[in-house]
Chain A
Amino acid sequence: NAGVTQTPKFRVLKTGQSMTLLCAQDMNHEYMYWYRQDPGMGLRLIHYSVGEGTTAKGEVPDGYNVSRLKKQNFLLGLESAAPSQTSVYFCASLGMGSEKLFFGSGTQLSVL
Chain B
Amino acid sequence: DAKTTQPPSMDCAEGRAANLPCNHSTISGNEYVYWYRQIHSQGPQYIIHGLKNNETNEMASLIITEDRKSSTLILPHATLRDTAVYYCIVRVAGGNAGNMLTFGGGTRLMVKP
Contacts and interface: CB of A to CB of B under 8 A. Distances in A.
Contacts, number: 61
Interface residues of B, number: 22
B105 A50 contact: no
Interface string A77-112: 000000000001010101001011111111000000
A4 B49 contact: no
Contact of A43 (B42, B44, B45, B97): B44
A103 B100 contact: no
Interface string B37-77: 00001111110010000000000000000000000000000
Interface of B: 32, 34, 36, 41-46, 49, 87, 93-94, 97-98, 100-106
Given A35-B103, A42-B102, A56-B98, 15 more contacts: A4-B43, A31-B98, A41-B105, A42-B87, A42-B104, A43-B44, A45-B102, A50-B98, A90-B43, A92-B44, A99-B32, A99-B34, A99-B49, A100-B46, A105-B42
